[in-house]
Amino acid sequence: MSSSVSSGSVSSGSVSSGSVPRLVIAAPSSGSGKTTVATGLMAAFAARGLAVSPHKVGPDYIDPGYHALATGRVGRNLDAYMCGPELVGPLFVHGARGCDIAVVEGVMGLYDGAAGEGELASTAQVAKLLRAPVVLVVDASSQSRSVAALVHGFVSWDPEVRVGGVILNKVASDRHEEMLREALESVGVPVMGVLRRAPQVDVPSRHLGLVPVAERQGEAVAAVAAMAAQVSAGCDLEALFALARGAGALACAGWDAGEVLPAAEPLKDAASPPPPLPVPSLGAAPPDPPTALNGPRPQAPDGLEMPTAGSGVTVALAGGAAFTFSYAEHAELLRAAGAEVVVFDPLRDEQLPDGTRGLVIGGGFPEVYAAELSANEPLRKSVAALAESGAPVAAECAGLLYLGRELDGLPMCGVLDATARMTDRLTLGYRDAVAVSDSSLAVAGTRMRGHEFHRTVVEPGAGTAPAWGVRGAERRVEGFVQRGVHASYLHTHWASAPGVARRFVERCRTS
């Protein structure tokens, strides 16, 4: 499909992040093709020389990794449950600084949100908060005329949600496409893309999500390139960009770690755009696009490590294939609090970074790498020694498992007198939590919202001093607080409580 979208179509630097063109990619349900379309669209725009800001509705860590491959920028989450609706706009503006367009991938179905909370945390709510038009991705594989009733229902359900276009996915043939387009003429929503079935863009999944980029970098790069090629060939990029330009201006200021949490030392260039994320190149743009679309593709060295920056006390941040779950704002807040954040890989590095005074271990899939993590005995001993010294250690989910005595019978760090094992049961959902014990992260009584996502069980589930009292499907205490360690299954977003980072870094200085 023809288009004139290119880096020359926008004036990079003249567009404020509150008025940056933006689209929300939604669907009637999970499995409709949101990730394929959103990631492919990001990569297609980036291949035309545009600076693309990638975002994901909800708590998911994995899709943003694919977004980062597509755009060369850190994928950022917009979660109205964990951070509150009031932070969705500021966090978006923060991530979109310096960009020409933003693409926001939705979560589940357009109107699905936190259970029992109405529209809270739904893609529809985020679209309204961002004043952004919605593109509805419809799996058309088993329907023809009924597609009109489906789209009409989604368009009319909430008049405040502006569905500006439809992309038909998994279309079988030219005749099938004709039937779908004819049916949709009566709805008044333009068809902006038609995608045929394409097995090459299928990405392996695990626990309701994709397999993280860090576990399959070469295959992931190929998958993203295939998504970009499919979207470029099947979608009207010019129409989509024009729709994105129709987004309403946002009046809110951008979130800034240096403002919400003044740094121990002044931050340099606090208002500058977030730094690009080093990512593998996707190579050339899809074959034979119109000449006007051709533009430079940002190149960067291989690797997915977050950039290290800052000065002061050293905080080690676990990364690599086993620990891929981390929100970018956590590292930004730690730097704003005066820390130097240094990423290390527990699968490869045998010692913590020199001068480590604190340790943050996020989530991931350590069960996949249990043997390798266990075999790295020098690092396990280094982590145990740091914890024994009383230094602050913050561990979420996978980090909790790594600090335990055993994972599926294999020795781990032994910091916590607890064992973990895989089960067939998926624990998933938002949680309201209150800190039960004073810790390196929070004083007792601090309230936060978080998210659980795991198939493991830790025994016992809580220590003598639990980390959180949790309200979800049931009320319970969970996690461990001992010396400087705070370990829990609960994933939290520190942008909702920036004092967590300040307290952690202060403890690093004084421990």
Distance between CA atoms of residues 233 and 240, nearest Å: 13
Q: What are phi and psi of 46, to 5 degrees?
A: -65, -35
**CA–CA distance, 145 with 143 (Å, rounded to integer):** 7
- 3 state SS of 416: coil
**Rounded distance, CA 53 to CA 20, Å?**
9
Which secondary-structure segment (H or E) carries 47?
helix 34-47
The single residue of 83, 397, 413, 508 carrying the catalytic annotation is 397
Residue in the block written with tokens 């025994």: 459
Q: Could you confirm whether 99 is annotated as catalytic?
A: no
* Nearest in space to 494 (alpha carbons), one of 504, 486, 480, 485: 504
172 contact partners, CB below 8 Å, separation of at least 6: 141, 196, 197
- The residues pairing with 10 across neighbouring beta strands, listed in sequence order, are none
Give the C-alpha separation, 433 to 163, whole Å: 35
Neighbouring CB atoms inside 10 A of 185's CB total 11
SS (H, E, C) 170-224: EECCHHHHHHHHHHHCCCCCCEEEEEECCHHHCCCEECCEECCHHHCHHHHHHHH
Rounded to whole angstroms, what are the CA distances from 254 to 58, 96, 101? 19, 9, 16
Q: Which residues are catalytic?
A: 397
